[in-house]
Amino acid sequence: MKISAMVVGRNEGYKLKDCLKSLSFCDEILYADLDSSDNSVEIASDFNCRIFNYKKFGPSCEYTQVDLIKVVNNDWVIMLDPDEVITENLRDEIINKLPVISQDDKVGDIYVPWQYYFGKKKLRGTVWGYKKEKGILINKNKYEILPITHYGRKVKEGYKSYHLKNTGFNLLNHYWMDDMKSFIEKHRKYLKDEGRDRYEKGDRISIFGIVGHIFYQFIRCFFITRGYKDGFTGFFLSIFWVWYMTNSNISLYLVTIKNKNEFSN
């Protein structure tokens, strides 16, 4: 069965090679470059990718994937970030099981086992490392991608997800963050439009909600999603998550107030 793949990246050439190599079983790879200044485009060329250059781009890959999904040649599409690598075991399982899974007309996407890394440390908890699976293989006819940061991907109504069982070897490895600078810069970029995106999704929050979430988000990241299992790294990531979500909530609140004022006028 033929499979397409989509990768969106910016200045991640040092990781892109391993990502694209793990996608070599796909019949085509679409690479969207977001105005990189490194060798990302050259690496994509080496893997015979269909390359799309974006000089202007949104804060997250969903904005670009909205365009790419319209031009893929196959119904089944893998969506990866440049810092993600499909292991050989997962590759073999996809190749062997997809023809069988696709016989169910109601399956719109497939979730695979997922392992986060922070630098060289394998995460066991936090809101990131606690996630043990990710939907990466979609049927373009049964799935929608919207230009909304973090919330823009889902199966269409009436369809369902299929979940591959974790064997401990069939993993999608996510080599997430290498250093503090890139970590902070990436999340600042996400915050640029997240308040607006959350508002359009239907989220609302009050001043009291913002304050209450400060405590809740730490409890969520360090205790509920077991950040304590990662020691000091888990504690740091929990503090960072509080900072990130507080800024996201403030942004959402400001957008809400702005829209209320415009509506009343």
Q: 152-204: per-residue pLDDT in tens?
A: 899 999 999 999 999 999 999 999 887 778 788 888 888 988 899 899 889 99
Cα separation, 84 vs 131, whole angstroms? 14
Alpha carbon distance, N-terminus to C-terminus of the chain: 56
Phi/psi region, residue 233 (left: phi>0; alpha: psi -120 to 50; beta: rest), is alpha
The pLDDT of residue 150 is above 80 = no
Residue 173: CB partners within 8 Å, gap ≥ 6?
A: 84, 85, 87, 115, 117
Give the residue-averaged pLDDT of 221-247. Answer: 97
Looking at the structure, give the CATH architecture of the domain made up of residues 3-175.
Answer: Alpha-Beta Complex (3.90)
pLDDT tens sequence across 30-89? 999 999 999 999 999 999 999 999 987 665 688 899 999 999 999 999 999 999 999 999
Sorted by where each begins, the domain ranges of the chain are 3-175, 181-264
> Maximum Cα–Cα distance for the chain, whole Å?
59
User: Burial, 230: exposed, middle or buried (Cβ in 10 Å; 0-12, 13-18, 19+)?
Assistant: buried
Q: What share of the chain is helix, strand, coil (3-state, %, to 5)?
A: 45, 25, 30
pTM: 0.90
Q: How many Å apart are CA 248 and CA 252, to the nearest integer? A: 6
